[in-house]
Chain A
């Protein structure tokens, strides 16, 4: 019994280390991972780099719209606030919204997808047709509608972005569940009397993780972009909290006079999305069992 357990554990570890080994070979994925790690570290240690009350939201109208200098690395915005400090603190918001909203969609989408896939029939039809209806509405439009109805705030933003991408997760999970449901080890589990819940949680869900992880990584990028978009049109978090999309919108009027106010937040958005996409693509390849040598 003990040896069996141990060997199972070993096998599990080796499966993930195999993925990691293949991921490491992918240069683009490693670039993405490195950039992402740097951004995450900057966000985590943001308070040590720049004080929130004294630097990030403190206005200094005498220094407004200054270009990059030794004092302000990336210049100052329309209220004289340091753009570098705001970008770092803005990364917190972006990462938080990105991860939590994707979490929301994975949980809701996962539950709906596995119910639909496992039971099939009428339930499947009802759930998936509802998802189709949601899919017919552009997700950014859906998010705008949700934020307008609930009012702009960080929480509502995450809910809106999260809910608007539920259907794609439900579809992915359902498709994987369908392919696993009829395999022999599930039949075996049923034969020894395992409950539906146990089968789904212990045997099916772990096998659907790979595509969800890939979609999730790419989804964080999408969520960050949606958040920036919503903030740009004024539906994001409330000022004076720094948010990349809102920073972009704030500097828009000064584009021809102070290029740095819009350029750096724009670059930040671009960089993090590029990094997440590199990583997501790398993960897709690394997790694909058909690519095993």
Chain B
């Protein structure tokens, strides 16, 4: 009995303590109004590097976009606006002239000069991670301190969209040379926030840059925290230790939206998720088989069960926000009967065995639904789950039969969304993991790159999408909505369709 009493005491005191601690967690959120000038942003992974030329992933970009500015930038509506370049004009088909804004200061006190722009773009062209973004550029010439001329190899219409990519942030030549190999841990840019410290795997601290050329930000400090588990990001929001959480799990969405202190922000992204078929491997070298599989998968089930509704069915390899998107395309509406007919026509009346390659837990859930749906038409799918690095390497070699991947058209231009995925020269690691090749599509994609007339370009891309959907090298499943949860007092925060969000305009209310 006495022992039980003791146990009872221990348990009660633990419970009381837990309640008290839970109460503590609420405080920061309540106190936050008024004197608060620091925000904590939680995202799923740590940045890999803060050197824009050393990596090209969204968690790193999310931090770098606060530190660096680009020559031009795309608004949340994907309109190109002047950034570090005050103005520009296209001299001829392949020559662009940029006037650099005067009096812009880097975080180390240096003034931005045309030579920094040339240095940055030259360095970028040599980078193995991001050179593909500027591969159209032939040379960068400094005219005077505030004027550069960029020459492209051939006419390249989407140049501005590419220069607005977050990886094209302008670096300071002196800072890069001084830091040497450690530049990725000591970034210097012109952006609204400057780098303070980085505790690997835990947090990155940024501080307001008072000489920012658009005027200092209202926030004093920004802390990026790494919180890998989606559920924990939501709990962090609820307890008030996190102010903005990127990527709320679909299942937690309602909880955040209905919480009295929180708000859920949702916006379309430029990402498209798809099932790819290896067009060089039987049976997927047969167009009918690819179409049959496309008819047999029902994206509605995936959107409902896996995304809890935060996505919408795709009808094209590029998202509606991307220039050149064709809204008139017919998608493969779920129709298992039609799928069976097509399989029969292709000579696979009794179905076949195949593998679906995936990486990650979202992919795993989607794959299980696809597996169940394809079973209905007699296709026996085994799911091969690989670690991300292995997955990327082996799909680039073409070892897969079916695979699941996403592609985000960060530049908001059809060229970036279609050329790497469907041009026959891009087979493998460049992006065309379905090993698709169609001379007609190749020709259109090449024409689209060089065409200068906007309407003509749009037409070219619409035609290309039609041909691609007909050939079905991939089956576009859905466009994902991106979201973030924030405390209610945070105002002025917008999600950028390209997936990296600026914090400059945030203020409290």
Contact = CB atoms under 8 A, between A and B. Distances in A.
A40 to B, nearest CB: 28
A238 B301 contact: no
B128 interface: no
Nearest to A53: B375
Nearest to B387: A148
B364 A61 contact: no
B371 A254 contact: no
Contacts of A152: 384-385
Interface in B382-417: 382-385, 387
A79 B361 CA distance: 14
A253 B249 contact: yes
Contacts of A240: 368, 371-372
B197 interface: no
- Residue among A78, A148, A238 facing the most chain B CB atoms (10 A cut-off): A238
B361 A234 contact: yes
A256 interface: yes
A255 interface: yes
B305 A234 contact: no
B372 A57 contact: yes
Given A238-B385, A253-B249, A255-B231, A79 B305 contact: yes
Interface in B239-267: 249, 251-252, 255
B427 to A, nearest CB: 25
Contacts of A239: 364, 367-368, 371, 383
B251 A238 contact: no
Interface size range of chain A in the complex:
20 to 34
18 contacts: A58-B372, A59-B369, A59-B372, A61-B301, A79-B368, A79-B372, A152-B385, A238-B382, A239-B367, A239-B368, A240-B368, A240-B371, A240-B372, A252-B231, A253-B249, A253-B251, A255-B231, A256-B255
A64 interface: yes
Interface in B352-392: 361, 364-365, 367-369, 371-372, 382-385, 387
A61 B383 contact: no
B230 interface: yes
Closest 4 CB pairs of A and B: A59-B372, A61-B305, A239-B368, A234-B385
A257 interface: yes
A234 B364 contact: yes
- Residue among B230, B251, B304, B371 facing the most chain A CB atoms (10 A cut-off): B251
Contact of A64 (B252, B305, B364, B385): B305
Contacts of B385: 152, 234, 238
A79 B367 CA distance: 12
Contacts of B231: 252-253, 255-256
Interface string A50-73: 000000011101001000000000
Contact of A254 (B251, B368, B372): B251
Interface string A237-281: 011100000000110111111000000000000000000000000
Contacts of A238: 382-385
Given A61-B305, A234-B361, A79 B369 contact: yes
Q: Say what secondary structure dominates the interface of chain B.
A: helix
A137 B500 CA distance: 41
A255 to B, nearest CB: 7
Given A249-B361, A256-B231, 15 more contacts: A57-B372, A58-B372, A61-B301, A64-B305, A79-B369, A148-B387, A238-B384, A238-B385, A239-B364, A239-B371, A253-B230, A253-B249, A255-B231, A256-B255, A257-B251
Nearest to B382: A238
A250 to B, nearest CB: 8
Contacts of A57: 372
B304 A61 contact: yes
A99 to B, nearest CB: 25
Contacts of B387: 148
B236 to A, nearest CB: 13
B307 to A, nearest CB: 12
B376 to A, nearest CB: 10
A211 to B, nearest CB: 35
B361 to A, nearest CB: 7
B395 to A, nearest CB: 15
Contact of A78 (B365, B371, B384): B365
A243 to B, nearest CB: 13
Contacts of B367: 239
Contacts of A61: 301, 304-305, 369
A239 B366 CA distance: 11
Nearest to A252: B231
Interface in A181-235: 234
Interface in B145-193: none
Nearest to B390: A148
A64 B368 CA distance: 14
B165 to A, nearest CB: 32
A61 B231 CA distance: 22
Contacts of B365: 78, 250
A256 B255 CA distance: 10
Nearest to A59: B372
B353 to A, nearest CB: 13
A249 B365 CA distance: 11
Contacts of A257: 251
A254 B384 CA distance: 24
Contacts of A79: 305, 368-369, 372
Contacts of B371: 239-240
Nearest to A61: B305
Interface in B112-132: none
Nearest to A246: B364
Contacts of A58: 372
B342 to A, nearest CB: 23
A254 B251 CA distance: 7
B495 to A, nearest CB: 22
A258 B385 CA distance: 26
Interface in A22-65: 57-59, 61, 64
